Amino acid sequence: MKLIGIDTGGTFTDFVLFEQGRLRVHKVLSTPHAPEEAILRGIADLGLDPAGLKVVHGSTVATNAALEGKGVRTVYIGNRGLADLLTIGRQAREELYNLRPGPRPPPVPRELCLETGGRLAADGAVVEPLTGRDLDELRSRLAELRPEAVAVNLLFSYLDDRFERAIAAVAPEGVFVSLSSRVLPEIREYERGMATWLNAWLGPLVEGYLQRLGTRLPGARVAVMQSSGETIAADQAADQAVRMLLSGPAGGLVGARFVGRASGREQLLSFDMGGTSTDVALIDGAPRLTNEGRIGPYPVAVPMVDMHTIGAGGGSIARIDAGGMLQVGPESAGADPGPACYGRGGERPTVTDANLVLGRLRADAFLGGRMRLDEGAARAALGALAGRMGTSPEEAAMGVIRVANEHMARALRVISVQRGVDPRGFTLISFGGAGGLHVCALAEALGMRHALAPVHAGVLSALGMLATRPGRQLSRTRLGLLADMDAAALERELEQMAAGGRAALGEEGVAAEAVMAEYSLDLRYRGQSYTLNVPWTGIAGAAEAFARRHEARYGHRMGTPVELVNLRVALHGPAAPVSLDAPDRRDEAVPETSGRVYGIGRAVPVYPREALAAGQLIAGPALITETVATTWLAPGWICRVDGVGNLLLERRPV
């Protein structure tokens, strides 16, 4: 079976095909109005027959709909007195010192918020029953409101889901139903409710998209990347739409870990710079997961890769603001019309245009020469900006690059320095189509001496789709003092959770004996609100691990009892046997040509990456071009090609 990873981005859709032990890469412009069109075009370009093809896909359908507020008409059902739960939220102000914040529309309009019975107490006792009259009233209201989806979030439903299941049974046929007891069976009714509503609000869109894609790819097996970095079969993904909100970026982190390990680098600071945005993350052996993620204004409490995203990409538009300051992003030129140099009608200057004007991007080497860039259009766009700045187009372009770099450096500090991690001991790994143009400057800004420009950097998220594993992240609240718990009972409950996950993976064809399970606990000191996750090694072992982690994070231990909050099970099936190709060349490559780069007083050599030999050393300044990316090796840096084609960059001591 041929295996293909596909990442749908805001500007490009990327493809990595693994066939007969070799990798092939491809890019096409995205089609945001119908993402499947770009996928079908790319598969046709590669000459592939969908029959017998295994597709692992990173989808932006859920993400884009959430960010643009374009979910389906959804009814929210809660207990009596709690219809406004999602509107009230945590009453946290985004602008602490703004005494008159502007009103924000509620997630669910008031007329679509319904109340009913079926209320449980914290110990699972019934406070208010769910009566037949309640169900009849709900049936009538749903018929009247005619929603496309229903989100049900009853108090303490994770203890007993019978009332939520009864409500689901009265929903009209064909309506997408999302139950909090299935989406996120954990405490915190607001976060559980938001996850349930997001799942319902986005579910029909994801379901429709995946059905259209499956219909257009007859005979193919389609899996989708989840936000936690594991795949799920497409026919199960629609019920888990909320777990796809970081689908593409999660693939990038899996890909970064994969190529980093191939070069012996386990501690990585990653930045994925695409056409629209930049994602940064910390990888210390494995990508970190968080249950405190956000998508736009909404909290997302399901497990997802821990990353920080900013609106700075190759397509980010540069402008002069009302105060005369140069600003870059977050507005992007996107895929259509794209940067001015794409020749598709764009006239506003972008980061990509700036790199082209500076000579760091080659007009004749973009997408392997299949798409020639229009340097005249880029210069005209930067010229208009330069006119307002009172400088030359080249100096304006340098300003655009400096501002974009500072945005990205600040994001990298958020994910490292602000969390007590010294980035100087890590390797900065850059990917995305634009990452290699900025990697040296960003490493210098953080005081880092080592960087890595991976092979297939421009399509690394798609490569990560191939390198990942099928899996599930399961959780269940189990409140109580840890010391009072029965270790054998906890072990049985964890095994019961794992059995359910193995069954779900079995439906995808993953043999039960091939599934690896990792058990962990969310713990906190009694009286605290937030938890730390530690591996399950028995009660005493977990308590000591929690104390050590608390001390490492906060600088102290406490003498108060430790409380168990959640049980967690991570399940992983085997990864596909994907490997990186060793460079074919044995003789060191010489520059193919040379070019002028602004600020460099001599011609800069240009090396085609596919011609580089393993072990070859290159001293900056130099440009290294490839089909899907370009690396700018700045003065003061050297790079060595390793055994799988990665470029290991090192800053020379001053």
> CATH number, domain at 79?
3.40.50
Residue type, 328: V
pLDDT of residue 355: 93
pLDDT of residue 33: 81
pLDDT of residue 368: 60
Exposure b/e, 492-530, CB count within 10 A at least 16 = b:
ebbeebbeebbebbeebebeeeebebebbbbbbbeeeee
Which one of 179, 204, 229 terminates a domain? 204
The one-character DSSP state at 60 is -
- 3-state SS assignment for residue 528: coil
- 3-state SS assignment for residue 339: coil
Is 478 contained in some domain? yes
pLDDT of residue 431: 86
- Please check whether residues 74 and 138 belong to one and the same domain: yes
Tell me the C-alpha distance between 189 and 201, whole Å: 18
H/E segment holding residue 649: strand 647-651
- Please check whether residues 189 and 212 belong to one and the same domain: no
pLDDT of residue 517: 95
pLDDT of residue 519: 97
pLDDT of residue 406: 94
Which one of 548, 572, 596 terminates a domain? 572
Residue type, 568: R
Which one of 572, 602, 625 terminates a domain? 572
Tell me the C-alpha distance between 416 and 142, whole Å: 48
- Please check whether residues 322 and 388 belong to one and the same domain: yes
Is 214 contained in some domain? yes
Which structural domain range is residue 320 located in?
Answer: 316-403
Is 136 contained in some domain? yes
Q: What residues in the chain have per-residue pLDDT under 70?
A: 10, 335, 365-370, 585-586, 654
CATH value at residue 224: 3.30.420.40
- Please check whether residues 43 and 104 belong to one and the same domain: no
- Please check whether residues 39 and 117 belong to one and the same domain: no
Is 265 contained in some domain? no
Cα–Cα distances in Å, from 5 out to 210, 242, 385? 15, 21, 39
Tell me the C-alpha distance between 28 and 47, whole Å: 14
From first CA to last CA, the distance across the chain in angstroms is 51
Tell me the C-alpha distance between 96 and 119, whole Å: 35
- Please check whether residues 194 and 99 belong to one and the same domain: yes
Is 110 contained in some domain? yes
- Please check whether residues 76 and 193 belong to one and the same domain: yes
CATH value at residue 521: 3.30.1490
Count of structural domains, the chain: 4
- Please check whether residues 79 and 189 belong to one and the same domain: yes
Is 310 contained in some domain? no
- Please check whether residues 21 and 135 belong to one and the same domain: no
Tell me the C-alpha distance between 595 and 597, whole Å: 6
The one-character DSSP state at 385 is H
**Two structure tokens written together for 530:** 């937030």
Is 114 contained in some domain? yes
- Please check whether residues 220 and 345 belong to one and the same domain: no
66, 243 contact by CB (below 8 A): no
- Please check whether residues 86 and 178 belong to one and the same domain: yes
- 3-state SS assignment for residue 3: strand
- Please check whether residues 174 and 222 belong to one and the same domain: no
- 3-state SS assignment for residue 53: strand
Q: Phi and psi for 159 in degrees, rounded to 5?
A: -85, -30
Is 286 contained in some domain? no
Tell me the C-alpha distance between 619 and 616, whole Å: 10
